[in-house]
Structure 1
């Protein structure tokens, strides 16, 4: 049994119990007994289904390793109970939390299965994102400085024939300074709003004659080229769109459940007044 499998099963130990020896487990369902406690074949089958990757051959060797793991788990579980660890308040709370977490996760999985994202919703989200991203890419360079007067000084040097790539070596942007401020091809939406708006307002081959202020400082931007691009095939990003829409729907559902719930917080205890001296 792998370490991952062992850790995963121990993590949900609170959710599984050993059946007492007797007529509760049919004879044909008894895998083995450990100190009189039954480990059923159903438990073995569940363990393999839950933890073994899909497509892995389930042969006698694998079933034997799984059986040995369950035996080890059983003796450890009995030892823990004999030591009364299951009676310690923090351990009991952890066991209850893990048990409930399993139920919550099962409910979420069931809810997602019953509320699938339709192809229509995926198409609508795809169209929305494509419209927001636009069909144009810009090839730009920029120089980032901390002070507006420094940006203005750079603009004056450019007007006098200064080389943008040379001046950009002093840029405060470590990602582009070494390459003359080159930002490569990108859609405006990949930049902060102030930068994007300035970029879209430039003519090809021109630079901004007024410093562009953003959260990072002051930019001088040069637009080198513009090109139209085709959107990616919807199938290439369909799984990501489905996952994103599922998570949004789930978050909205949980938010609605919380809004409808009667949540009553207890007020914290008032601090006692200090005794007068």
Structure 2
């Protein structure tokens, strides 16, 4: 459901240069789509640097925009619910903004291991710029991103007029590392939500993600208690619950045995078999 129809009203369009940071992984054929929307638009690929040259085709793209009613901004609004883009404002030119963002493409975990960040992911940007570390802003004076769970906009601005220099490699604090772990978990639940909406639209209750969120968390918790951790295992478990459609697991001893009885068989295999039994039960109209 697309809930983002307009941007916040008090953004600094007349005082700052606006940029869109668009995710080339999520938004397929992004360069071609941007050329059709605005043929004269100049884009800067963040991956146009030595460490990421091989990935340039799926690079996040930084695009300057002038007005909130132009086609590129409307494209951003249409896809805002996917959380695959971020709106930035700066007094600096695109090159300087891109150079700053490139410093954050690869960061270090608290223990020193390198990790790549998806900077155009709205939830990642929310965690970074909401962390309170003023170095992360650099030349950026305002960051706006969509939150599809709350169906609202999030906004961050630096507290200092001149932000400290961001040195590289940037090492995540334990708190920011934990926040990014929560982003991964949140993304997994959003993918689960999309899966259930696609395959079980009549059984996946709640009009908004926020209304469905407690149920998604419950499914994740139950799956985790069974030793299920991968996306496919979580999806299989959700399928079991959806096909059983609220009937008690005790009424399905074969399925309950696969899920709960001790076994040398891997949990992923057992939940896949349980999903097959649940689908068969559902396709037979709820008959054994």
TM-score scaled by length of structure 1:
0.27
**Larger helix percent:** 1
Higher relative contact order (CA 8 A, sep 6+): 1
Q: Which has the larger radius of gyration?
A: 1
